Amino acid sequence: MASECLFCRIATGEIPSARVAESARCVAFRDVSPQAPVHVLVIPKAHVSSLDDVADDSLTAELLAMARDVARAEGLVDRGYRVVINTNVEGGQTVFHLHLHVLGGRRMQWPPG
C-alpha cells in the first residue's frame, strides 16, 4: 500500500466510503462526486497507478467483471451503462490508483469531452 494514496486508504477502510462490492483483490464504492445517477468506482486493493501499470491481466479481468456485476446489481443493464478508465493526464486521470468508473442512470453522450 502507498500510504499517501487516497484510494489505498479507501481500500483499507482508513478513509470511509460507500462500498457496494468487495472481493479478495478488488473493491467497489460510490464516487464522492457522481457524474450520473449511478457512479461507482472499482479499484484493486493493491496499489497500481494506472491501467498501464497492471502486471497481471487476471486482475484486469477481475476488475472488469466486478464493474459488470455492479452494473447488474444497480439495475443498469437493460437501459445501458458505461465503464471508463481514464489513463494518465490527457486521459483525464486525477487519482493515480487504477479505477474503473461505472456510470449509468442517464443517457451518455459521445464523443466524451
Which of 43, 59, 48, 50 shows the shortest CA–CA distance to 10?
A: 43
Q: Which parts of 2-41 interact with ligand DGP (CB under 6 A)?
A: 6, 17, 29-33
Does 97 qualify as catalytic in the annotation?
no
According to the binding rule CB under 6 A, does residue 43 interact with ligand DGP?
no
Residue 100 identity: L
Measured from the CB of residue 40, what is the shortest distance to ligand DGP in angstroms? 9
Q: Cβ 94 to ligand DGP, closest distance in Å?
A: 4
Residues 6+ apart with CB under 8 A from 64: 83, 100
- Rg value, the chain, Cα: 13
Decide: 2 and 48 in contact? Cβ < 8 Å. no
Site for ligand DGP in 49-88 (CB under 6 A): 86
Q: Rule CB under 6 A: which residues touch ligand DGP? A: 6, 17, 29-33, 86, 92-95
Tell me which residues are annotated as active site.
99
